[in-house]
Amino acid sequence: MSAGSPVMMSRVNHSEITLLRRALLRWFDRHRRPMPWRDDPQPYKVWISEVMLQQTQVATVMPYFERFIERFPAVADLASADLQDVLAVWQGLGYYSRARNLHKAAAIVMRERGGVLPRVASDWQTVPGIGPYAAGAIASIAFGEAVPAVDGNVVRVFTRLLGIRKDSTKPAVRRALTGHVAAVITPRRAGDFNQAVMELGALVCKPRNPDCKHCPLERWCVASAKGLTTQIPCRPRRKPVPHIDVAACVIRRGDWVLISRRRPDQMLGGLWEFPGGKQEPGETIEETAVREIAEEIGIEIRVTGKLGAIPHAFSHFKMTLHVFECRPVRGRARAVTVDAVKWVAPPDLRNYPFPAADLKILTWLENDHVAS
Ligand code: SF4
């Protein structure tokens, strides 16, 4: 196995595989970044960290992880907590279904497993919110099971290492890659092996400008030898991301502001927000505000000013949130299509979990942002 010849694990040269593992683990031992879940890999901490790390960078996760573990130090604490408290600690981290799934999973672990977390990847895959990648990561890092954990970093490293030019988003290519990782994983240090490949992807084999000169795998890497690092991994062209306009209403009555809670079955379910909704064809955004409040909360409002517009991106669409100051004109606020409504004194708004875009509105209110 040498540079320029495919390192296909079905045709392995065992002594080369041993050298590759050694080189990778030696690099990891020298360059691994300290992380609280890495330095103390208790199963509960590894589980929480892996869920938080889905779609989110390590640096962002770090303070959230510390706060979460301090507030819910063990699975029993998480299971017995109110979901609103879990969402409040998660507030700002995004992808709130992860928090809801963690809460649900903790209850299942207490009820069905006497508080004992699963050990093997196949059992982890039955836990809400855990897919093949997270199952492999937790089982290998916390329990040493020799199973692959293939995330975006691992796909990048292995497609380049092996010179795979097929579409890396295809399930068949993912399956083949998982097989290659399984063939080369170090049984005695399975968790470190998986983390080493991920760390290499994050620090050296980056999407742009991989630092091949300082890569411990360079001598075996097909993409580096053939100058293919800009072409691998291959992905289909991204479709344009749809954009929607949404009205959000800061409805004031005396010293109170009205907020509503999203239904549990909705995106961002369980979180509070300034009520409103999506613009329909043919209406102005002010008309959207009036219609949505009538439909959701059952009251008639008057728009008295615009506070501003907040652009926000989700994974599969972008939105502009148009924020209005409003007064109630007629009717009594009630939960018609939302989960709950509440009149809250502005200083108490921080006690409720809000999505990121609504947190920005909250900051505006705290800073007496002037309506435009
Ligand atoms: S040699 Fe370069 S392309 Fe190959 S794995 Fe290392 S950093 Fe990535």
Q: Supply 13's token pair.
A: 């040269």
| Strand-pair partners of 340 | 261
User: Within 6 Å (CB) of ligand 1, which residues are found?
Assistant: 157, 160-161, 204-205, 210, 212, 215, 217-218, 221, 223-224, 229
Q: Supply 107's token pair.
A: 């209850």
Task: Indicate if 283 belongs to the active site.
Answer: no
Helix intervals (H) in the chain: 14-31, 36-39, 43-53, 58-71, 75-80, 83-90, 97-113, 121-124, 132-143, 152-162, 171-184, 190-203, 222-226, 285-297, 356-366
Q: Which atom of ligand 1 is nearest to the CA of 232?
A: 3
369 Cβ contact list (under 8 Å, min separation 6): 307, 308, 363
Tokens 């889905």 identify what position?
A: 54
CATH topology assigned to domain 9-226: Endonuclease III; domain 1 (1.10.340)
pLDDT of residue 371: 54
C-alpha of residue 233 to centroid of ligand 1, in Å: 12
Cα separation of 324 and 307, whole Å?
A: 5
Cα separation of 251 and 293, whole Å?
A: 10
pLDDT of residue 2: 41
C-alpha of residue 54 to centroid of ligand 1, in Å: 23
- Residue among 210, 185, 208, 180 at smallest CA distance from 195: 185
Domain boundaries, given as residue ranges, for the chain: 9-226, 243-366
pLDDT of residue 236: 83
C-alpha of residue 347 to centroid of ligand 1, in Å: 52
Q: Is the CATH number of domain 243-366 3.90.79.10?
A: yes
Q: What is the pLDDT along the chain (372 residues), one digit of tens a residue?
A: 444 433 555 455 788 999 999 999 999 999 999 999 998 899 999 999 999 999 899 999 999 999 999 999 999 999 999 999 999 999 989 889 999 999 999 999 999 999 999 999 999 999 999 999 999 999 999 999 999 999 999 999 999 999 999 999 999 999 999 999 999 999 999 999 999 999 999 999 999 999 999 999 999 999 999 999 999 999 888 888 999 999 999 999 999 999 999 998 899 999 999 999 999 999 999 999 999 999 999 999 999 999 999 999 988 899 999 999 999 999 999 999 999 999 999 999 999 999 999 999 999 999 876 555
Handedness of CA 207, 208, 214, 220 (dihedral sign): positive
Pairing of β 340-344 and β 300-313: unpaired
**9-226 and 243-366 share one CATH topology?**
no
Residue 265, Cβ neighbours under 10 Å: how many?
A: 7
**Cβ(93)–Cβ(103) below 8 Å:** no
pLDDT of residue 10: 47
123 Cβ contact list (under 8 Å, min separation 6): none
- Residue among 34, 2, 3, 31 at smallest CA distance from 15: 2
Q: What is the pTM of this model?
A: 0.81
pLDDT of residue 14: 83
Selected catalytic residue, list 16, 50, 66, 70: 50
